[in-house]
Structure 1
Amino acid sequence: MEQYTRPTLTGGQGKVERGRAGIISGYVFRVIREQLGLTQDGFAESFGVSADTIAGWESGRRPLTSVPVGQMLVHRHRLMHMGVGPELLAALERATEADVLLASALDDGASTDTGPLGAWVMQRDLVEVLIWPLNGVAPALIRALPSPRRVRRGPVPRAPDIPAEDRARFFARMRETAEQARGSSNFLLRRQALYLAGFDDETDTSDWLAHQQKLVRPDDWLSRWLNSRSVAAVAARRGDRDRMAHFITRTLADDDAAETANLNYWAYWIGETPHIQLSDDFIASPAPGPWQGNRLLEHLVQGLTPRHGFFDLNVHTLWALLAARPTLLRTPSTARKALRARLPVMLDDLQLSARTRRELEGIRYAIRLAEA
């Protein structure tokens, strides 16, 4: 992976305040402590550090990103011994990565060309954690946690706390990065900056994104496909289902290469594939990659929420997945059971598009064949 330099964690113009350099990992660390049902004092005693150290990690005053790698491995092993599960440990690791990305974006002196944003193709678990302090929406893993035992003293924020000016600064930096990134060598950097900029709730975001997409018209098929998908995804997130329907009809349907690219993209996005990719080239493989599809099936079924901007894309991708991996329905699973139960309700929706209805009917028929 491309190497990058961690931003300077000092105060002052153009630098990142130290207390803001570890807010996401600090918040996740506090979630871990609360899931164990421990106060800061109790956790410090079990962990073998001072209570002030725990408070500093959780607040970002002593960022976890500043802890040496070897010491972080020791801390990780201690958390394992205390009973912290692999999902929360993975969330802490992603939160640390997100802190580095956030700090880089907030540091006006950091170069985006050599920074982390364009170094590898990001996945859902990292993006959800990175955007958490910016839109207040907790990652899926955090939302699924049981309510913590009562160890809190007084009111606490429900998400990593970032000042409004830092939030505005982050999105301004994403726009600046996208506008300055030009050429095929910077396509990934530009694409990911545009994607993150799309989370900004300012009224001019949609117009700015549309203008940026018109400025650069890639020559190669994959870049054009990714451009179209990015436009549709941002529009769907903002409630515009027509743009997504247009993407499915004009870009995906009846194009084997586009359908394969869509499946490969989804599988990587949700973590079905085991390896980090340094470019988008893997998406254009001539056949779906060496992934099983069970995790993707579960994710798509969970996303079958009518009226949601991504509903039509979830249905179409599910339909394409079952065509490419028909064996997924032959083994009883929670996802198959949930899909079978939801189908009649979804098909009763009078506002379904003709294409989505046909695909849902096709999925129901595939389930009947698998169960026959």
Structure 2
Amino acid sequence: MKAGPQTTLTSSRGTAPRGRGGIVSGYVFRLIREQLGHTQETLAERLRISADTVAGWESGRRPLTAVPVGQMLVYRHQLLHLGSVPPLLQILERAMEADILLASTLDEENPAANSPIGAWVMQRDLVEVLSWPLNGETPTPLKDLPAPPRPRRGPVPRGPELPADDRRRFFTRMRRTAEQARGEDDFLLRRQALYLAGYDDAPDTSAWLARQQRTERPDGWLTGWLNSRSVAAVAARQGDRDRMAHFIRTNLTDHDAGEAANLNYWAYWLGEAPHLQLSDDFIAESNPGPWPGDKLMRHLVRGMTPNQGFFDLNVHTLWALLAVRPNLLHPGNATSNELRAALPVMLDNQELSTQARRELDGIRYAIRLAEA
């Protein structure tokens, strides 16, 4: 299985902390088994291991992250042969990375400066899985997962469950990491720690994040741009649309570098960019990178729900994307057809901001040109 840059299958002390090492990957493995229609006993027989091993993996008692990489690849091939769908196995890879990050963060003996949170620019597929036990939000690829062929017996958890004390410890460590990561080389670590800290539903989270922004001293436009975007994203996640609207007005509209940065950021976040990045510098490229845009367009169209915190940003980003990738509007594109059908409903909403309405009208006009 693939692991993120600079990660291993153990914590800094050689093993994952007891009870924390595999809750996310164990839960995903359970989903895989259930989708295959197997019990723990029957799957164990097919994999030629004991049923207790399968039970240990699923509970996290025997972390999957402790399985040697080569043997894990063997199990992956066996699961594919049994009929497991590739997207579920890809989620399992991300879940193993998430377990490693959780274990590293919860390990009090691991200095904040050594946190793998700042080793590379993380993407949505990992962040959604990492935040799953923190906020209970099911990762996007699993939301439409069909019901397993065998009915579950008794009450079952709806996701990986992190003990309340560990959840609190995780957010405390993220805050401490962000507060201590003040060096020039620590910007990525601080930015991503702040982002993850924003998932905390504690009543003082918004005030703490605002205070962190006030104490930041950006050393360049990209640093300032990313700080503003991070704060706006956290505020939007908490239902505050005003801060996001301010970010769009001051950092995107009529700001070519900001517009390109926004598209580059989104494309990387959603996995359109082909390579992992070790710093944020790629975001500052003067033009959008050589990515196709199909995945980004699909995400934006399906995320345009009026009155939600990210609606205005999604509309603006789609408007900017279609300006540089007009070919995405050709009538044969399924997402383009989905957009055509959704536009009238969105434009009928009386609570649209002036800018969002103007940009939606612009998108509608671009669709008419593409159809001419």
TM-score by length of 2: 0.96
Give the whole-Å Cα distance in 1 for the aligned partners of 2:17 and 2:101: 14
Tell me the residue number matched to 2:74: 74
Q: Which amino acid letter does the alignment assign opposite residue 82 of structure 2? A: M
State the percentage of identical aligned residues: 68
Residue 7 in structure 1 maps to residue 6 in structure 2:
no
Give the whole-Å Cα distance in 2 for the aligned partners of 1:49 and 1:151: 24
Contact residue 18 and residue 63 of structure 1 kept, 8 A: no
Tell me the residue number matched to 1:170: 170
Q: Which amino acid letter does the alignment assign opposite residue 184 of structure 1? A: E
> Structure 1 residue 18: deviation in Å?
2.3
> Structure 1 residue 111: deviation in Å?
2.1
Contact residue 330 and residue 336 of structure 2 kept, 8 A: no
Tell me the residue number matched to 2:112: 112
Contact residue 129 and residue 139 of structure 1 kept, 8 A: yes
Secondary structure of residue in 2 paired with 1:113: helix
> Structure 1 residue 42: deviation in Å?
1.3
> Structure 1 residue 89: deviation in Å?
1.1
Tell me the residue number matched to 1:195: 195
Residue 147 in structure 1 maps to residue 138 in structure 2:
no
Tell me the residue number matched to 2:45: 45
Contact residue 263 and residue 288 of structure 2 kept, 8 A: yes
Give the whole-Å Cα distance in 2 for the aligned partners of 1:177 and 1:9: 19
Secondary structure of residue in 1 paired with 2:117: coil
Tell me the residue number matched to 1:223: 223
Summarize the Cα distance change of 1:334–1:2 in structure 2 as closer, same or farther, 3 Å threshold. Answer: closer
Query: 5+ unaligned residues in a row in structure 1: which ranges?
Result: none
Match runs of 1:247-262 below 5 Å: 247-262=247-262
Give the whole-Å Cα distance in 1 for the aligned partners of 2:81 and 2:244: 46
Kindly provide the CA deviation profile for residues 122-168 of structure 1, in whole angstroms up to 9, marking residues without a partner as x: 00010000010111111011111011123433211111011100100
> Structure 1 residue 16: deviation in Å?
5.6
Matched residues, number: 368
Q: Which amino acid letter does the alignment assign opposite residue 11 of structure 2? A: P
Kindly provide the CA deviation profile for residues 253-290 of structure 1, in whole angstroms up to 9, marking residues without a partner as x: 00010000000000000111121110000000111001
Give the whole-Å Cα distance in 1 for the aligned partners of 2:183 and 2:325: 36
Match runs of 1:80-95 below 5 Å: 80-95=80-95
Summarize the Cα distance change of 1:144–1:285 in structure 2 as closer, same or farther, 3 Å threshold. Answer: same
Residue 313 in structure 1 maps to residue 313 in structure 2:
yes
Alignment RMSD, CA only?
1.4
> Structure 1 residue 68: deviation in Å?
0.8
Give the whole-Å Cα distance in 1 for the aligned partners of 2:102 and 2:158: 19
Q: Which amino acid letter does the alignment assign opposite residue 201 of structure 2? A: D
Match runs of 1:1-372 below 5 Å: 3-4=6-7, 6-7=10-11, 17-372=17-372
> Structure 1 residue 187: deviation in Å?
0.1
Secondary structure of residue in 1 paired with 2:118: coil
Give the whole-Å Cα distance in 2 for the aligned partners of 1:367 and 1:168: 48
> Structure 1 residue 29: deviation in Å?
0.4
Summarize the Cα distance change of 1:65–1:88 in structure 2 as closer, same or farther, 3 Å threshold. Answer: same
> Structure 1 residue 118: deviation in Å?
0.5
Q: Which amino acid letter does the alignment assign opposite residue 232 of structure 1? A: A
Of 24-33 and 71-80, deviating more is 71-80
